[in-house]
Amino acid sequence: AAFFLVLGAIMPNSQITVTNVGINPTRTGIIDVLKDMGADITLENVHTSAGETVADITVRSSSLKGTTVCKNCRNCDIIPRLIDELPIIAVAAVFADGQTVIKDAQELKVKETNRIRAVVDEFNKCGIDITETDDGMIINGGKSIHGADFKTYDDHRMAMSLTVLAQLADGES
């Protein structure tokens, strides 16, 4: 659901509802970060299904602002709750006003690919102001971007994140 939540937040004049999404507290870091960035997200129809809490999540186009995502942000260790969603959070950061800093995310280097390097390399192709750090990245958002010929690194999270990014790029990707 993370990809659709970000798409709904960054796409002008949009509203997307994703139904029956697991909202186990260990996996809702993406919602916390998007709300911190100013995303208009509501949870409805919260109930238990097969022993898990689920909800319908609606997101509306929003004016996002940059944020910091790190191990000790929000008085908790949020990185494990969203490590797999960091590439799509980076997409949200591209369309947020101001700077987003992602740190304490060294684990991204040992996923299907080095996702830190992959995100930086692919985002640079479309004119995004992004810098790689030892444990994450710094993204200066709020600027228009252009389409590019992306490489997915045979990584499904990179493919989905780049697909969402391309939706708001000027020109073909």
Could you give the residue numbers annotated as active site? 84
Output the CA–CA distances (angstroms, integers) from residue 82 to 14, 157, 163, 164, in the order listed: 24, 12, 19, 18
The CA distance from 42 to 50, in Å, is 22
For the chain, how many residues are written?
Answer: 173
Cα Dmax for the chain: 45
Closest CA to 66 of 85, 25, 38: 38
Q: At what angle do helices 156-167 and 86-94 cross, to 10 degrees?
A: 20
